[in-house]
């Protein structure tokens, strides 16, 4: 992965260490200009059944590409309420890509970040950037590490509520993108990493799922009297969706991304609501520690077993369910280690190629949703 950042006032490499030497080129400079900014060239490698699966998933893939453009435009103008620069956004994306260990993503975000000038070298800027990087790493690797104190630290370094919503969406999106890429690589029987991965964190503690309280936002939602026409339009579109019914007014701080996010949810509704998709989503929520998502998707027969832990659920499950749980757990915990061997039990259990792809997409989408619900509110 590319880390070093020099030239002008951007004399720091990605983990905020400073230096004054000459600028290093990104490892794969052409990765910045790839046409498909979501699958990053993987679609061209797909043939036969996998190509057909991608064709069927085109609405979701198009929505994902649109969200990418909203989060990482070619140019960006900041304001008093939206202070995240393009540099902030891409450095965050690179941090998440590094955590997931997906080399294709690291190449792309490093190449896009490379020509941009970083913040000035003041103590305030360094503290802000350090806090952003640390928060992104924690949320990407282990969402249960994020609490109200972590949100307060973002506020202390100058991030506004709209900033925090956009920032969380970026971390969630790249987490989702990484798992879709890992799943397609596994279907192609290709490796996804050429770099060491991070240590796999423990699953969330079972006590997080004992409470049945409804999810409550940790930041102040948009107020109706102050909502802009675009925010009202996004809210009108997404509020009927059950997955967004409690969080929509909070996520409306970034109305454009909320609209894209709800469109993506809408295109994948049948995928996530299928038996294998719902089980994969519940497994991801159990590992990531998101009770709100877990309670929405877990099947009654496996609820108590999955609450105790993934291994307990595997022991209590039927053969098809066991294969789904195994695959979803591996893709959630360690996408850079996900490979064709983790998909083979799904095929041996009799799942169709479409159902196997549904497990991948549902797990990936849940990895995004879990991080939003876990970091921006609590049950």
**170 and 217 in one domain?**
no
**147 and 270 in one domain?**
no
Residue 159, domain member (yes or no): yes
**367 and 272 in one domain?**
yes
**Per-residue tens of pLDDT for the chain, all 379 residues:** 444 443 433 333 454 444 444 445 556 777 888 889 999 999 999 998 899 999 999 999 999 999 999 999 999 999 999 999 999 999 999 999 999 999 999 999 999 999 998 888 899 999 999 999 999 999 999 999 999 999 999 999 999 999 999 999 999 999 999 999 999 999 999 877 655 556 788 899 999 888 777 899 999 999 999 999 999 999 999 878 888 888 999 999 999 999 999 999 999 999 999 999 999 999 999 999 999 999 999 988 999 999 999 999 999 999 999 999 999 999 999 999 999 999 999 999 999 999 999 999 999 999 999 999 999 998 7
Give the pLDDT of residue 7. 42
Give the pLDDT of residue 195. 56
Residue finishing a domain among 187, 214, 235: 187
**335 and 211 in one domain?**
yes
Of 17, 184, 35, 25, the C-alpha closest to 102 is 184
Q: How far is CA 199 from CA 142, 189, 209, 246, 352, in A?
A: 11, 23, 24, 33, 33
Burial class (CB in 10 A: 0-12, 13-18, 19+), 81: exposed
Strands 216-217 and 377-378 turn out to be antiparallel
**158 and 49 in one domain?**
yes
Report the domain count for the chain. Answer: 2
What are the tokens at 194? 């050429």
Residue finishing a domain among 187, 219, 237: 187
What pTM does this model have?
0.91
In terms of residue numbers, what domain contains 328? 206-378
Run of H or E residues at 99? helix 86-100
Give the pLDDT of residue 378. 85
Q: Which CATH number is 252's domain given?
A: 1.20.1290.10
Residue 15, domain member (yes or no): no
Residue 196, domain member (yes or no): no
Give the pLDDT of residue 97. 95
């Amino acid at each position: 992965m590319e880390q070093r950042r020099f030239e002008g006032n951007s004399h720091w490499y990605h983990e905020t260490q400073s230096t004054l030497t000459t600028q290093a080129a990104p490892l794969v400079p052409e990765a910045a200009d790839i046409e498909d900014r979501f699958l990053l060239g993987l679609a061209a490698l797909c043939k036969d059944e996998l190509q057909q699966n991608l064709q069927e998933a085109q609405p979701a893939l198009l929505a994902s590409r649109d969200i990418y453009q909203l989060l990482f435009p070619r140019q960006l103008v900041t304001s008093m309420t939206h202070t995240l620069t393009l540099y902030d956004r891409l450095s965050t994306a690179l941090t998440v890509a590094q955590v997931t260990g997906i080399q294709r993503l690291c190449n792309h975000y490093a190449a896009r970040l490379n020509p941009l000038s970083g913040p000035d070298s003041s103590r305030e800027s360094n503290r802000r950037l350090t806090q952003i990087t640390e928060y992104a790493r924690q949320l990407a690797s282990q969402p249960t590490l994020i609490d109200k104190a972590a949100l307060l630290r973002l506020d202390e370094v100058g991030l506004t509520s709209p900033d925090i919503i956009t920032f969380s969406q970026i971390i969630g999106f790249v987490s989702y993108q990484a798992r879709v890429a890992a799943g397609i690589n596994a279907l192609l029987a290709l490796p996804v990493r050429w770099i060491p991965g991070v240590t796999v964190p423990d699953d969330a503690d079972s006590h997080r799922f004992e409470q049945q309280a409804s999810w409550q936002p940790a930041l102040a939602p948009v107020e109706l009297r102050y909502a802009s026409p675009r925010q009202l339009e996004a809210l009108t579109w997404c509020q009927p969706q059950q997955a967004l019914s409690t969080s929509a007014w909070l996520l409306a701080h970034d109305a454009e991304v909320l609209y894209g996010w709800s469109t993506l949810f809408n295109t994948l509704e049948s995928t996530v609501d299928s038996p294998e998709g719902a089980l994969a989503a519940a497994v991801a929520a159990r590992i990531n520690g998101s009770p709100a998502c877990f309670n929405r998707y877990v099947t009654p027969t496996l609820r108590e077993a999955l609450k105790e832990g993934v291994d307990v659920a595997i022991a209590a499950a039927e053969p098809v369910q066991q294969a789904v749980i195994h695959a979803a757990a591996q893709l959630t915990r360690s996408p850079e280690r996900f490979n064709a061997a983790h998909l083979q039990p799904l095929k041996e259990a009799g799942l169709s190629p479409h159902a196997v792809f549904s497990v991948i997409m549902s797990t990936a989408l849940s990895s995004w949703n879990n991080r939003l619900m876990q970091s921006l509110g609590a049950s």
